[in-house]
Structure 1
């Protein structure tokens, strides 16, 4: 089958378009004909050999996708060929077909159209991460103030939307006018320029002297400490990722002085370790998606041959919202 192939650890430019054997589903697994796959920061980390999990070379990257079931393994009775699904895999979605655990797939209505099926591929990881972060980890309460770093990216925009659903006042921080406008379009109450030298003063102008109650941080780098200093008494700082590339070293005394908490958010392990809670979250999110209460922003679609360019755009922090790879899209 046609796939994006990683032969050695390196940058997205080292990937090639080639052939890989058609994967066969084992017990408890399902093979899906990929309709769309989302480009995510962990995909780029995996290609570079810097992710928590290293597949055996060669492999196809891509962990989030939607499509149609083409085969099921032994013991799978919840799905059958022809079912439309959205889900995640350890890797392999930048290809014509991918294998995933049945428990990591969610069936979609049979009448789901091609466009809705494509948009669904952009949904689970970003909204799942942000909902788990805000609801489960931060235990956000209506009326609190949320500062979202990287608010123009996929998880950032999801955090903006979900923060508003929770009744939070949302301050969106992003490095470009286009990203700040995207955050506004998803309900942000205020925006700040995260690339400006007076970033902390901008936040204070919107949050007041008390500070913000929650920081949603998928960026890392120098912004982390600045945002941490902007927390109110009893505030929570959610560590979601390190899109800036640098893992910050946080002065522990900042946590002590304001009674704040630094909370790690690892949605992938949450799904594996707490499947019942994760499934309940997913059901709620998909219900909101079907009702139109959540509106994922897909800003660009790439054919399979341009998947490396999608990952490069992510690493350069050029993407607004989500980027999709469609194996059937003409080059």
Structure 2
């Protein structure tokens, strides 16, 4: 009788193993489906960006209510900065444009990177307005230095440097913000593999049920575009602007398509969020209400397809083919 029992035990064991193999297969299929869903969501937002880019090419420049040009170029951003008379940012831009002296050249070439508002571009006007409003005017006009030496040079009043000394006949009124890159704590999580813009590999937010929130587009730090000259700008420790300056400014600020989708995603928002229709959450429990006033110093819009990720360009070619 023992032998039949042993056979039954063996049959049960084989049946359990078969079911375990089936479960492993089903789990792997479920994970594959989840990945496909995320890929489709990313493709949707790629198409959305391309549509916005197409509108940029086809639309004419219009005027907003404050008389500002609807499409900002880098030159227009600089002109807006220059209008902030007696500010350090305006003085910096003026000095760069008026045949700087050898002292000025050595100072700025060595350590000063530029003004926050001029160091990155964005794809859409809505995104430009939202990110600029979130940072505020003082931060948008902040001067960025690589090391403490640049800050010391900007403050020097001994006749050998400093903005005040170099700009004869001009003066700075009030305080101004200077950001030192080497003093910032950089993002250390690595980059998205193969991305020419060196976007940060930040895991997507997840709701309590494990799903990515509907309407989530990306993190703000990954939605800015860096020109090649700023992509190659590194601190003495080897860190770039995205993982130092812009990660410090935006942290894990999330971007959503609509205000309602942003509010629905509250359980997974820790470092603030923006929606393209004007919604803003500064942090946990801190909401910004009322009608927004468009910032007049904004990030410029990138023109054409230059510098866009390869996936954008390839998708645009397919849509036109």
Which TM-score band (shorter chain)? Answer: under 0.3
Q: Larger relative contact order (C-alpha < 8 A, sep ≥ 6)?
A: 2
Q: Which has the larger radius of gyration?
A: 2
Q: Which structure features the higher share of strand residues? A: 1
